[in-house]
A and B are shown apart, each in its own frame.
Chain A
């Protein structure tokens, strides 16, 4: 009875809003579509330019670009819009939300479109990007942005401590020793920084270490936690030793102060991605792939363009736009304008690629490093819960409030429960 009422009200709201998403519809054979994004500055301008060029060359489609503000809130916003029955055709969303989006019937599964349309050249996107949007049999979205973690270091601090710069075959021990030598308590200088707010920022850096030690987040059937393996304990122990014994780690509480401190020469090394580089104008920094244990795996953080269904015409118009926008030439133009990493492997073969590496110093290490992004985080609707449980455990270890093994076991128990309830 109550649900009938709810449905009735929902239906009424959809009717009241006139079915059209964000006030656009097709008129005179022209299909109007709306794209939501959170880009500002350089990237915002680049996107507006791209839409202009697309509209100029595609007389039957008009793309309207709208800024939804901070991308951190985008999922909340899109969900509310979908509930209200008026939503855009394309929306920029963080990678970790793919599984959640897959559950709403309004999100377009692009798997059939990819199958029918080889021109998209799907396998040209990096593996980590493809895994991030693959939810079971469905594919939710097209890659929009890719990042990965590398070791960014302050050359001057290395010189002062008389230690050689990091090499591609650095081990965890090399790394830990360097961090120790770079630390100077009196000068409030730290060897390394770690985001210890228990959020995904805390978890994904741990994921890289876990994979390097040969571990996994979940068992292959995705039914149980696996991060409390010996590999996981080894990774967490490295964090514990550095944070609570060596005191060589600045613990950031999630507000990005580590970037300012690195720029001020207070921190020797960071595990970070290309997005942070523009924040280091005052430091002569070098970039190296992450130190390793069994291997030198890194983690990749892809975001995507998700398509929402506003009827056949608009859906196919949105697909046309995304295909155009993510094609190698256009994607390379984007990378040159913004500094974002290539989203396709073939971009490195385009004629403009050298322009890109010349403009953004050291960026090719990140591009090469994408090859080390072998594994991906599980794409599950319950991923955020899993991440929270892991985050609490890692935070407890970093703060010296729990032993690695005990903390990970407890988190694993919670994760098993979350997976058992699995929705």
Chain B
């Protein structure tokens, strides 16, 4: 009897997840609870905090910068996720099948991922400089521009989208390449024997087999997009005129620039709620449409 329980999936399951769950509890969940506590306080990280109840949340409702930062975060996410995941799928399919220099291409798309954000920031500031940048020089040759990029409030957010897609594409490509390696070649052969064309094979065999990877990338990219910060910090710092002040940037600004740590924690909780809604929706839709072999 005892042996049956120990040998059961219940015991094995818990034994398997125990180390991970313990570590994530200590370094993940505990700090989150702590941060929630902060969101009910007025706290400048210096003097002893005062309890303000829902005061921070009430103030958020009337904060125009906060409202705009939510809008910008969602616009950014809706652009970044399809562009980076879709683009990565295209590149992965191009380099997956045997091609000369495929290792060179794979390494090339990986380079931006491996480059530190500080260096990326310096480089993009030069590339996209309105007066002296190479981007405007090249675009000018084909009769476009000049554009303000990071210095134009109407363009800065899109420039950030371009920069981050560039920076993260290689990561998504790796994930897709790994998934493509997992597709048994004979499945594709079988489909082609059945008379399916290239597109048909892709549409009905490859794409469904890639769907777990796609779901993973969409959820993961969404979470990252909702939390975009580093790239903004090293280029526009939320500007010009708040044009790139997304939620996490606003949060950082509130916590570490003007020392409203409690208020910042409330911003974080809102972000958390938005992310949760996005992710659950995606997982829920995904689980009904994703193809698993089991």
Contact = CB atoms under 8 A, between A and B. Distances in A.
B259 A3 contact: no
Contacts of A6: 37, 49
Contacts of B258: 382, 384-385, 388
B181 interface: no
Contacts of A199: 237
A111 interface: no
Contacts of A198: 237, 239-241
B259 A392 contact: no
Interface in B40-54: 44-49, 51
Contacts of B129: 257
Contacts of B49: 3, 6
Interface string A96-128: 000011011000000000000000000000000
Contacts of A101: 46
Contact of A79 (B45, B51, B121, B236): B45
A83 B46 CA distance: 8
A109 to B, nearest CB: 15
Contacts of A76: 256
Interface residues of A, number: 35
B286 interface: no
Nearest to B118: A70
B150 interface: yes
Contacts of A3: 48-49, 51
A75 B46 CA distance: 11
Contacts of B8: none
Interface in A126-151: none
Contact of A395 (B51, B126, B241, B253): B241
B96 interface: no
B117 interface: no
A103 B239 contact: no
Interface stretch (A39-47, A229-237, A248-256): A248-256
A401 B153 contact: yes
Interface residues of B, number: 30
A399 B259 contact: no
A329 interface: no
Contacts, number: 77
Contacts of B48: 3
A423 interface: yes
A379 to B, nearest CB: 15
A250 B131 contact: yes
A255 B237 CA distance: 10
B282 interface: no
B125 interface: yes
B45 A83 contact: yes
Contacts of A355: none
A199 B49 CA distance: 28
Contacts of A157: none
A212 B151 CA distance: 28
B16 interface: no
B242 interface: yes
A2 B125 contact: no
A383 B259 CA distance: 11
Interface string A1-12: 011001000000
B131 A388 contact: no
Contacts of A381: 44, 259
Interface string B49-65: 10100000000000000
B151 A79 contact: no
Contacts of B122: 255
Given A255-B121, A257-B125, A257-B126, A197 B46 contact: no
A255 B241 CA distance: 17
Contact of A197 (B44, B131, B153, B239): B239
Interface string A389-405: 00010011001010000
A97 to B, nearest CB: 10
Contacts of B151: 196, 251, 253, 399
Contacts of B125: 253, 255, 257
Nearest to B260: A385
A261 interface: yes
Nearest to B259: A100
A53 interface: no
B46 to A, nearest CB: 4
A395 B257 contact: no
A381 B151 CA distance: 30
Contacts of A79: 45-46
Interface string B141-178: 00000000011010000000000000000000000000
Interface of A: 2-3, 6, 75-76, 79, 83, 100-101, 103-104, 188, 196-199, 250-251, 253-255, 257, 261, 266, 381-382, 384-385, 388, 392, 395-396, 399, 401, 423
29 contacts: A2-B37, A2-B51, A3-B48, A6-B49, A75-B256, A79-B46, A103-B46, A103-B47, A104-B46, A104-B47, A196-B151, A196-B240, A197-B236, A197-B240, A198-B237, A198-B240, A199-B237, A253-B151, A253-B235, A253-B239, A255-B121, A257-B132, A266-B132, A382-B258, A384-B257, A388-B258, A392-B241, A396-B241, A423-B44
Interface of B: 37, 44-49, 51, 121-122, 125-126, 129, 131-132, 150-151, 153, 235-237, 239-242, 253, 256-259
Closest 9 CB pairs of A and B: A103-B46, A104-B46, A255-B125, A385-B258, A384-B258, A79-B45, A198-B239, A103-B47, A76-B256
Given A79-B46, A103-B47, 12 more contacts: A3-B49, A6-B49, A188-B131, A196-B240, A198-B237, A198-B241, A255-B235, A257-B126, A381-B44, A384-B259, A395-B240, A399-B151
